[in-house]
Amino acid sequence: MSKMPRRKDHTHEQIRSLALDALLAHLQLGPLGDMSLRKLAQKIGYSPGTLINVFGSYDYLLLSVNARTLDQLAAALPLQQTPDVDQAQPQQAITQLLALAHSYLDFAQQHRYQWQLLFDHRLPAEQSLPLWQQQRINDLFAVLEGALSACAPQASSAECQHTARTLWAAVHGICTLALSEKLFSDNPQDGPSMMQSLVHHYVTAWCQTQQSTHRESNA
């Protein structure tokens, strides 16, 4: 029978994985507030100092967990290829955006405490978000921007970026209220139905405005 690896048998990368796996397992059951650096270190058989040595700080450990969450979110979302601009119809874009919104809510409900940590955690003011984390965020927004661009090819990149973030902020608000049961409704389907209404009406109106502006500018 093989022996369990001793502490010195683990590489930094293995310790990193042990810590992240342990914290993610905890977040499936309870909030971050029930965990601490010391408790996490004890859980995997290492000292808090070892984890600081591996991650650089507790903040970067939490940021690494959030990176895992973003990867899981990306895997859970229907990130199908955006239709070719020349062939795309507005309804196709709306259908894709609706699927993304519903999957976003599903993920938040299934991974409540990971999702909360993703938005609750803040780096100290003097530290910038690492490029590896910012790229994950940009990649997710790029899917929304691509769907909007297919819906309104005449819209500028800046307009699509702004609209993607506006749409996400509204969807995120519905998710937050639904999870905290603050929609003030006894109907559990109100969250999804609100998203349906939001995406359909907002994106339809935005596409029509873009098309109208484009026609006027070419008149």
Q: Are 164 and 145 in contact (CB under 8 A)?
A: yes
Stretch (H or E) spanning 25: helix 12-27
Specify whether 132 is located in the same domain as 173. Answer: yes
d(CA 97, CA 117): 24
Task: Give the mean pLDDT of 63-73.
Answer: 98
**Would you state the structure tokens that stand for residue 102, as one six-digit string?**
């519903």
Clarify whether residues 74 and 150 are in a common domain. Answer: yes
**Residue 44 structural domain:** 1-56
106 in the same domain as 207: yes
For residue 160, the SS3 value is: helix
pLDDT in tens, 168-201: 999 999 999 999 988 887 776 788 999 999 999 9
Prediction pTM value = 0.87
Is 119 in the same domain as 178? yes
Does residue 148 have a pLDDT over 80?
yes
Distance, CA of 151 to CA of 154 (rounded, Å): 9
Quick: pLDDT tens for 102-116: 999 999 999 999 999
Are 163 and 187 contained in the same domain? Answer: yes
Amino acid at 29: L
Q: Are 209 and 158 within one domain?
A: yes
**CA 105 to CA 175: how far, in whole Å?**
6
Residue 3 has pLDDT above 90, yes or no: no
Same domain for 121 and 194: yes
| pLDDT band for position 91 (cuts 50, 70, 90) | confident
Same-domain check for residues 31 and 74: no
CATH number at residue 110: 1.10.357.10
Q: Would you state the pLDDT for residue 4? A: 45
Read off the CATH number of the domain in which 46 is found.
1.10.10
Are residues 150 and 94 both part of a single domain? yes
Quick one: 119 and 13 in the same domain? no
Question: What's the pLDDT at 87?
Answer: 46
Task: Give the other-Cβ count within 10 Å of 155's Cβ.
Answer: 22
- What is the number of domains present in the chain? 2
